[in-house]
Chains A and B, each alone.
Chain A
């Protein structure tokens, strides 16, 4: 408290696009944790099944995928057990789409508190990313449990690959994408409300352009460039490659993905901090 006390502070219009005040975020870390806690708890308080919900959604979606895409449509799962294949895609995709969905609404859903007290607005989307990570780890545990089960049954064999070491990096990529895209979208929706209509089904559509329900190497060569142009594809493919040993792993694709993430995140943070200044005037 005494640190902040009597410290001089200047309030003025942000002249430069790059005046991001990122250091300020550190002083508000307590607040970040509070929001994370709230976000995490709020997702299952007032529910009967409580934290079980973290498992129910991926389990049922996976079963549905197995049924529809695996059994009815007969889409290849690259020789992997269907459940494991879909679940591996889903845990990653869920993290991305949940985070994106929530971040895309930060301004609108928090206008009440944004209008009354100041804190670096970026804290809000960051808290969504972090609480999403907690959820991701829980679902990842589910994946590991099922992975072990198939290992014991002998349907997959685990062999340590160096790609496993990339896991933290994949998570960072994933977080960066959902944060960056979310920031761009939320900034734009404050002015162009049509976007919020689009985002709902846009995310759903994007999933089909990402190798979640199909492996990349089952894509006809003609359309492969489309899926490869999607910078999220390499994340899922690498994840599968690390655990299941299948999928297209290429350093080049991963670099491309990293590059895209950096640009999107950069644009996102800039637009967000631009919009943040006067957002309350137009809400």
Chain B
């Protein structure tokens, strides 16, 4: 358990931006010339920190900078980070698809990887032949692969197509076979990059189960990249977080994921500015801040706990009617869970800042991460209504699988929905 499976030492990766192929001959010649004279490559010096939203002046960017970490045998390491953070780049280097610009990695054992969408299949070969090909790529002999063949075909659920060239497969089928091959050929290290996205719900579940199995029962090491934070949390034993090519956080999955959620929800005062879909909002009344109020210094809500938030807003113009606040809870993958409205109690007879405590009682949200969108206005769902300000995804918060009395919720499946409602009566009629 304590042996290292992967040791990553000071890895850097440089990419060239823009259309490659223009003006490169000159650069290449001068590069060669420098190399020839034994000097340092002049192009390694330039290059800026990688930020997808800013246009960089240089042609070269660092997609990974100074990455250092270890993975122990049998560990499931989650790698999270925003789009363009460098997760796939890191996995590609680990799978030897591309080489690092600087640094060194020690890998102990055979690595099988499933990198982003699409698999390491030869399109003209049949599914069966591709299984052998992938086995051979892993350095396995023919008999060994034959021994695993049935399990692979069975797990993938593409028996009917196993002797058809892979180019005729749907992308989901390719992914199914790809996953089955990678998981059943028993690599020492399994690398999975965001591949579950194309599979259907049933297969995703099967895969997650298999990954868990591979690590906990077969004792193999798994590196798992996903934007599905729920899966990351369930599956991994440790997480690292990348941001603009740098490793910024490392530790227990819950902790790193929470930090990630906190980072992706922008700083509080500027936060609302970026989330308004429309210039029109926030002129007369402006929402400025929302913070969750957790009990006892924690950073999450317990299951079944009354949710409390502090909501701050400014009144720029006096309104005759009393204001109310509305909110919508949705899951991180944009599924709305429910909407609600407070009663109209806010007097808007004076210009100035207001702070209110928003309490959502008896809402038993299934454990997980949720987003809260906020609105302030007059009227309700039954009558005409008007909003003065609407802020989408104002906040992300977590419900832990733990009640205030310390129990966990069992027997709840995602397909039951997100709310547990227990005020239900049954009477003899």
Contacts and interface: CB of A to CB of B under 8 A. Distances in A.
> Does chain A bind chain B?
yes
B99 A30 contact: no
B122 A7 contact: no
Contacts of A31: 133, 136-137
Interface stretch (A59-67, A107-115, A131-139): A107-115
Contacts of B132: 34
Interface stretch (A9-17, A155-163, A222-230, A262-270): A9-17
Contacts of B137: 28, 31, 117-119
A184 to B, nearest CB: 15
B154 interface: no
Nearest to A27: B139
Interface string A102-133: 00000000001111111100000000000000
A1 interface: yes
Interface in A16-34: 27-28, 30-31, 34
Contact of B110 (A4, A30, A34): A4
B136 A11 contact: no
Contacts of A115: 97, 115, 118
A47 interface: no
Interface stretch (A68-76, A88-96, A198-206, A275-283): A275-283
A9 B104 CA distance: 10
A193 interface: yes
Given A5-B110, A28-B136, A34-B133, A13 B102 contact: yes
Given A6-B108, A8-B107, A34-B133, A116 B188 contact: no
A7 B189 CA distance: 12
Contact of A113 (B25, B122, B139): B122
Contacts of A13: 99-103
Contacts of B21: 191-193, 282
Contacts of B107: 8-11
Given A1-B139, A12-B99, A278-B99, A7 B108 contact: yes
A8 B98 contact: no
B155 interface: no
A11 B93 contact: yes
A34 B136 contact: yes
B124 interface: yes
A42 interface: yes
B140 A118 contact: no
Contacts of A192: 21, 24-25
B96 interface: yes
Interface in B113-134: 113, 115, 118-125, 129, 132-134
Contacts of B163: none
Which of A31, A192, A277 gathers most chain B CB within 10 Å? A31
Which of B28, B120, B129 gathers most chain A CB within 10 Å? B120
Contacts of B108: 6-9
A43 to B, nearest CB: 11
B141 interface: yes
Given A7-B108, A10-B104, A11-B96, A191 B133 contact: no
Nearest to B93: A11
B106 A8 contact: yes
Contacts of A281: 15-16, 98
Given A31-B133, A191-B24, A11 B188 contact: no
A30 B141 contact: yes
Interface string B1-39: 000000000000001100011001100100000000000
Contacts of B98: 277-281
A150 to B, nearest CB: 40
B95 interface: yes
A38 B125 contact: yes
Nearest to B73: A6
B209 interface: no
Nearest to A3: B139
A119 B97 CA distance: 9
Nearest to A38: B125
A274 B340 CA distance: 61
A118 B144 contact: no
A117 B134 contact: yes
A85 B358 CA distance: 95
A6 B104 contact: no
A118 B99 contact: no
B99 A114 contact: no
Contacts of A118: 95-97, 111, 137
Contacts of A10: 104-107
A281 B64 CA distance: 14
A15 to B, nearest CB: 10
A27 to B, nearest CB: 6
B289 interface: no
B79 interface: no
B139 A4 contact: yes
A14 B16 CA distance: 19
Contact of A116 (B110, B119, B142): B119
Given A1-B141, A4-B139, A42-B124, A11 B100 contact: yes
Nearest to A24: B139
Contact of A191 (B28, B94, B97, B104): B28
A116 B123 contact: no
Interface string A243-283: 00000000000000000000000000000000001111110
A1 B140 contact: yes
Contacts of B119: 116
A116 B119 CA distance: 6
Contacts of B133: 31, 34
A117 B136 CA distance: 11
Contacts of A279: 98
15 contacts: A1-B141, A4-B139, A6-B109, A11-B99, A12-B103, A12-B104, A13-B100, A13-B101, A30-B141, A30-B142, A38-B129, A112-B118, A113-B120, A118-B96, A192-B24
Interface of A: 1, 3-14, 27-28, 30-31, 34, 38, 42, 112-119, 191-193, 277-282
What are the 6 closest A-B residue pairs judged by CB atoms, nearest first?
A: A117-B120, A116-B120, A118-B96, A31-B136, A11-B105, A277-B99
Interface of B: 15-16, 20-21, 24-25, 28, 92-111, 113, 115, 118-125, 129, 132-134, 136-142, 144, 188
Given A31-B133, A281-B15, 5 more contacts: A38-B129, A117-B113, A118-B96, A192-B24, A281-B98
